[in-house]
Structure 1
Amino acid sequence: MKKPSSPQSGFTLVELLVVIAIIGVLIALLLPAVQQAREAARRMQCSNNLKQLGLALHNYHDTNGAFPMVSYIDNTNRPASWIVRLWPYIEQSAAYDQCTFQSDWTGIGFDKNWRITTNMFVDGLNCPSNPMDRFLTQNSSSATRNDGAPAEVQYQRADYVGVGGRFKSNSDPSAPRSVWIGYHGMNDYNGIFVALDTHNEQTVSFRDISDGTSNTLAIGEQSNFVRSIDTSTGEVTFHDSREYGHRGGAWSGGGGHNGHGQWYGNWEGHSSIRVGINFVHTAGYSEPSGTGCKPTYGGRSGHHTTFTSAHPGGALFVLGDGSTRFMSEHIPLDTLRYLADRTDGQVIGEY
């Protein structure tokens, strides 16, 4: 007698589709959580990068009695940036000791340090969430090529910018130490990072921060594109408007004059507060002028380039006391301006 066969086990097509659908739903629920965890880790790393820069600032001040200048007047060379001056305090002493400061750090003239600067990359100067290019490519000068440099060189771009103060406008005439310099806009000297030029001869030290170091911004992020919306079409365009974008990347302090002996402070690496964090332009690429959708005057950044961040909802800053804080993009603009100004005397509440 033939033994009856046992029923075969397995999924029906309907059951298989149901299982696949359930797995798809679970993955869809899980992915945002994974992305949030990754962003939290990147934000923590960015905060640590800024914390290290804050410590370096204090170590620099302990050694030199003041914070580093943004740039200074040099009739023959364009000076190094404030980041270069921090190299010994961010574990880059070997590179610093090999450099000569009698050199054009923009690479327009004779960059005597090109063997170091074009091969230099400091990971802690870039936010890990930054979607933009970390290098600036430019043609090397004839003098630099004669020294053996290739025709095209790269310099690192940094995502962290010194706070130069608050912009003095018609609606904010009380901002101290701000000077109109003609076609190149307004230079502000009321923050922690200032240039030494024909309008200012003194770097900033702790004693000059009368508002208190815990109430004054020192360094902030420019780690994301500046957005511009065409109000007639709704089209959104994205612009890399970071500082250090003209020549020499993160190692250049900029510089220049108007050809008549008047130094107008075309400095790199610092920005004053004129608009809010992650400000979105709606009136054209360069409005308000100098805040950053359209590089001004031959590719040089404006003096009020927007502080932006790839971290959702705001940006990270270092305060004068070396601490880091995440500033909401919804912080009142006046509060942000007062935090940028080291001597305004305003009482600042919770932010």
Structure 2
Amino acid sequence: MKTKRSCSTRAAFTLVELLVVIAIIGVLIALLLPAVQQAREAARRMQCSNNLKQLGLALHNYHDTNGAFPMVSYVDNTNRPASWLVRIWPFIEQSAAYDQCTFNSDWTGIGFDRNWRVTTNVVVDSLNCPSNPMERFLTQASSSAMQSDGAPAEVQYQRADYVGVGGGYNMTGATPSHWYGFHGMNDYNGIFVALDSYNKQTTSFRDITDGTSNTLAVGEQSNFIRSLNTSTGEVTFHDSREYGHRGGAWSGGGGHNGNGSWYGNWEGHSSIRSGINFAHTSGYNNPLGTGNDPGKGGRSGHHTIFTSAHPGGALFVLGDGSTRFVSENITIETLRNLANRADGNVVGEY
């Protein structure tokens, strides 16, 4: 008796079918990748906004304690002041570091930074935008005095991405700007001001007569400044953030004695001279003061551009502690009015 053989057919992909499946997967990945990137950027932007909210809260707590907002620098040709970020350390969970520091010190790090054991080890993650593509730390040679005190030959300081708003450039009125010769234009009409031979007083809530909800307090410098060479068409990118000189985020700058010396660089605050994400076409420090000047050791300009890695604008915290995304298409007049705490101008939608 003959038995029938059962034949089983083995299913398999042909080469053509496999290529089709791979192509479909590739298309799906190409479609999903931008959505994933947008979701990640949205999360980073939310974290950046939260960082600024924490700074706004810390500034309010500082004001409640001291009756005014922190100053950014002062006139002293021997000692260099701590930045306003150091002054709010107790309100951003850095009280232990604050208590270990002496304020009779050269905070730039080029002289004798008596606080180097603290300042080179303090890292506050919330002072950096998560979208920032630039380096978070500033490496510099330590002075001989610091090395004699035990510091290594090179030290690192954190750089921060959030900068106090010093007002609008070259403003008149109740809080006019003042020209200091080669030192440049100092603006005193914002929430953050320097103390010098012209201005003797920090800002308090009573000085913000335009209203805290209409006045910018702190903004982003979290992306490169772009510069277009109109002759060659080449675009270059420059890290011109504040806190880029000596001492990083913890130095208030070199101070100034009013004699026109360029040693008077204020760190940690900037007034509005150019628009958000302004792109240079004639050198990244033109207009003068909108970028770091390499001829002066990379010192920050008084009007360094507010930039952001978030597309389309930059995040700011206002005087009332709220955060706002300000479009890069805002007019420069409106932006300067928002930076000026007491110009009396009506600010519309932005």
Contact 1:166 1:175 in 2 (8 A): no
Write the distance in 1 (CA, Å) between the matches of 2:257 and 2:202. Answer: 23
| Residues 183-202 of structure 1 aligned to structure 2 (within 5 Å) | 183-202=182-201
Residues 120-152 of structure 1: per-residue CA shift (max 9 Å, x gap): 100010000000000001111111111000111
Distance in 2 between residues matched to 1:269 and 1:208, nearest whole Å: 21
Deviation digits for residues 178-215 of structure 1, max 9, x if unmatched?
11111121110000000111110000000000100000
Task: Map 1:172-211; keep pairs closer than 5 Å.
Answer: 176-211=175-210
2:139 maps to 137
2:16 is matched with: 14
Under a length normalisation based on structure 1, what TM-score does the superposition of the two structures give?
0.95
The residue aligned with 1:238 is 237
Alignment of 1:119 onto 2:129 = no
| 1:311 to 2:313 alignment | no
Letter in 2 for 1:124: S
SS at match of 1:318: strand
> 2:318 & 2:186 partners in 1: Cα distance?
21
1:34-56 Cα distance to aligned partner (Å, 9 max, x none): 00111011111100000000000
Please name the residue that 1:61 is paired with: 63
Query: Where do residues 204-283 of structure 1 align in structure 2 (5 Å cutoff)?
Result: 204-257=203-256, 265-283=264-282
1:108 corresponds in structure 2 to 110
Counterpart CA distance in 1 for 2:157 and 2:230 is 36
Query: Bigger CA drift: 186-195 or 68-77?
Result: 68-77
Question: For 1:19-168, what aligned pairs fall within 5 Å after superposition?
Answer: 19-168=21-170
Q: Percent of aligned pairs with the same residue?
A: 81
TM-score of the superposition, structure 2-length normalised?
0.96
Measured after TM superposition, the shift of residue 99 of structure 1 is 0.5
Structure 1: distance between partners of 2:201 and 2:22: 68
Aligned residues of 1:241 and 1:295 also touching (Cα < 8 A): no
**SS of equivalent to 1:325:** strand
Q: Secondary structure at the match of 1:38?
A: helix
Which residue identity does 1:318 align to in structure 2? V
| CA–CA separation in structure 1 for the residues paired with 2:294 and 2:323 | 29
Unaligned runs of 5+ in 1: none
Supply the AA of the counterpart residue of 1:5.
C
Secondary structure (helix, strand or coil) at the match of 1:9 reads coil
Q: Structure 2: how far apart are the matches of 1:301 and 1:263?
A: 11
Partner of 1:322: 321
CA contact (8 A) 1:296 1:302 kept: no
Which stretch shifts more, 253-262 or 205-214? Answer: 253-262
Q: CA deviation at 1:284?
A: 1.7
Determine the C-alpha separation between the residues in 2 that align with 1:194 and 1:259: 15
| C-alpha spacing 1:13/1:293, structure 2 compared with 1 (3 Å) | farther
State how far apart, in whole Å, the 2-side matches of 1:139 and 1:263 are.
22
Provide the residue aligned with 1:285 in structure 2.
284
- Structure 2: where are the runs of 5+ without partners? none
The whole-number CA distance in structure 2 between the counterparts of 1:210 and 1:264 is: 33
Q: For residues 125 and 341 of structure 2, what CA distance do their matches in structure 1 show?
A: 30
Number of residue pairs the alignment of both structures matches: 348
AA matched with 1:160: Y
Pick closer, same or farther for the CA change 1:294–1:33 going to 2, 3 Å.
farther
Tell me, what secondary structure is at the counterpart of 1:234? Answer: coil
Tell me: CA distance 1:109–1:259, structure 2 relative to 1, closer, same or farther (3 Å): farther
- Deviation of residue 75 (structure 1)? 3.8
Q: Distance in 1 between matches of 2:238 and 2:269?
A: 18
Asked if 1 retains the 8 angstrom alpha-carbon contact of 2:272 and 2:339, the reply is yes
Amino acid at match of 1:48: N
Q: Which segment drifts farther, 286-295 or 305-314?
A: 286-295
**8 Å contact kept, 2:257–2:264:** no
The separation in 1 between residues aligned to 2:320 and 2:89, in whole angstroms, is 20
For the residues of structure 2 that align with 1:332 and 1:122, how far apart are their CA atoms? Answer: 33
Q: Secondary structure at the match of 1:36?
A: helix
